[in-house]
Amino acid sequence: MPSSLAPVRAAPRPRWYSHAYNRADFYRLAAAFGWLPRRARLALARRLGRLAPRRMPAEREAVRNTLARVTGAEGSRLDALTVATFTDFAMCFSDLVTTNRQPMERLASHVAVVEDRERAIRPEGGFISPSAHVGNWELAGRLLAGRAARATHVVVAEEEVRELEQWVRRNGDGVRFVTRSWSPSRRTGRSAPGETR
């Protein structure tokens, strides 16, 4: 007698790579080096970033495959780009948990001048900037908020690891992190005064 149940199919594997290093102890370790002058701290981060690909073969392969696809690089050029990606990430991660905690004036002094920045940071009526997590969006949000008259809302997915929120989603200095389900108009029926969405 034939079964009326359809065969169970395995869920398709996601097409993106995820890693197991998003843990609070790594953030605490990086923050522990906050006492070093920034130049020395970033030099240490660069050194660790150059060593990381050898210690993280799965991550190295994921980064290498992505870079090969988006840049067309091969051989030694691709190897150099892969190491540079780990190096840049190590420095960005170090700044995320140290420089980002500094007063706005000091924070802004570490950022290169952007041409025509006044028009970019003082838009008429606000603006929305969609972007993937390819950089330090907390830093970007705080820099924008430090120059704008309105609150800056950074819309994010729900954090899977709640204990990381203190490191990567710190409200204050004119920045408010909200999840995709949040809406000031849904909550109050209208936008709050001075809010930019």
Please answer whether residues 37 and 177 qualify as being in contact, where contact means their C-beta atoms are separated by less than 8 angstroms: no
Percent of the chain with pLDDT over 90: 29
Domain boundaries in the chain?
24-101, 120-196
Residue 135 clears pLDDT 60, i.e. is over it? no
Exposed (0-12), middle (13-18) or buried (19+): which is 45, by Cβ within 10 Å?
buried
Helix (H) or strand (E) holding 82: helix 75-96
CB atoms within 10 A of CB 24: 14
pLDDT digits (tens, 9 = 90+) for 36-78: 999 999 999 999 999 999 999 999 999 999 999 999 999 999 9
Please answer whether residues 195 and 184 qualify as being in contact, where contact means their C-beta atoms are separated by less than 8 angstroms: yes
Percent of the chain with pLDDT over 70: 64
Place 80 in a pLDDT band, splitting at 50, 70 and 90.
very high
pTM of the entire structure?
A: 0.67
pLDDT of residue 128: 64
Q: How far apart are CA 91 and CA 38, in angstroms?
A: 10
Question: Which of the pair, 178 or 16, is modelled with greater confidence?
Answer: 178
Mean pLDDT score of the chain = 75
pLDDT digits (tens, 9 = 90+) for 2-32: 555 656 666 666 666 666 777 888 888 888 9
Place 171 in a pLDDT band, splitting at 50, 70 and 90.
confident
Place 131 in a pLDDT band, splitting at 50, 70 and 90.
low
Please answer whether residues 89 and 49 qualify as being in contact, where contact means their C-beta atoms are separated by less than 8 angstroms: yes
Query: 106-114 contacts: CB < 8 A, separation 24 or more?
Result: 107/139, 107/142, 107/143, 107/146, 108/143, 108/146, 110/38, 111/143
Q: How far apart are CA 172 and CA 103, in angstroms?
A: 11
